Structures are given as structure tokens and as C-alpha cells.
Amino acid sequence: GEDVEQSLFLSVREGDSSVINCTYTDSSSTYLYWYKQEPGAGLQLLTYIFSNMDMKQDQRLTVLLNKKDKHLSLRIADTQTGDSAIYFCAESYPGGYQKVTFGIGTKLQVIP
């Protein structure tokens, strides 16, 4: 079955880089996503990567995918206090209409 695992908590100092890790089990995953959820808000798509890619960079965000190890990471450069939120890793896999499985989320705390 599908399963997405993440560490629960990460604390970094403002200005440092943050790396949030995720592992998934479904080798047929086609897209992998990172969502951000701020308190009291819905999920906001940050970035996604297609499964045949190794890396994707978007401004301060870098996504690395190791398909062999089924490992996905999100690096946030120059982390700011506004980056404090819960980050969800998610995978989608074939089966007709899109089905997305979310991890439990990693809470990122940025210390000023």
C-alpha cells in the first residue's frame, strides 16, 4: 500500500538552510509534492517534481529525489521566520484520476 513518512519536527535558526526529508513506499509514484500549511489555513502547494527528475530548483526551494531509495527532500535556503509552518510531503500515483497520499507533516520552527 501507499505510505509516506516524515520526521515530525525541525528547528533551525533564521538565515540557515532547512532540509525536510520524506520517504515513500510506492515505486509507481509519478509526482511528488511539497505542501505548506500555516496555522488555521489550508494547504498551499510549494513545488512538485516528476518522478523521472532528480532535482528541481525554484528560488529558495530545492527538491531532491532519490528514486532508488524512495527519498524526497526539500531544502529551503536562507530560512525566514515566515517559513515557520507544517510541511507535507505527498505522492500521487497512476490509477486514472489523481490520487494523492500525504505524509503526517513536518513542523518547521524558525528561531529568530
Partner 1 sequence: EAGVAQSPRYKIIEKRQSVAFWCNPISGHATLYWYQQILGQGPKLLIQFQNNGVVDDSQLPKDRFSAERLKGVDSTLKIQPAKLEDSAVYLCASTSAGGEVGDTQYFGPGTRLTVL
Instruction: Report in angstroms how near the CB of residue 88 gets to partner 1 at its nearest.
Output: 5
Instruction: Choose between 22 and 110: whose C-beta lies nearer to partner 1.
Output: 22
63: exposed, middle or buried (C-beta count within 10 Å: 0-12, 13-18, 19+)?
buried
Instruction: Report in angstroms how near the CB of residue 47 gets to partner 1 at its nearest.
Output: 11
Instruction: Choose between 18 and 103: whose C-beta lies nearer to partner 1.
Output: 103
Coil, strand or helix at 83: helix
Our measurement of the distance from residue 48's CA atom to the centroid of its chain's CA atoms, rounded to an integer in Å, reads: 8
Instruction: Choose between 12 and 100: whose C-beta lies nearer to partner 1.
Output: 100
CB 109 within 8 A of CB 85: no
Instruction: Report in angstroms how near the CB of residue 96 gets to partner 1 at its nearest.
Output: 8
Q: Provide the binding-site residues for partner 1, judged by CB under 8 A.
A: 4, 30-31, 40-45, 48, 50, 88, 90, 92-94, 96-100, 102-105
Residue 39 has which C-alpha cell? 496555522
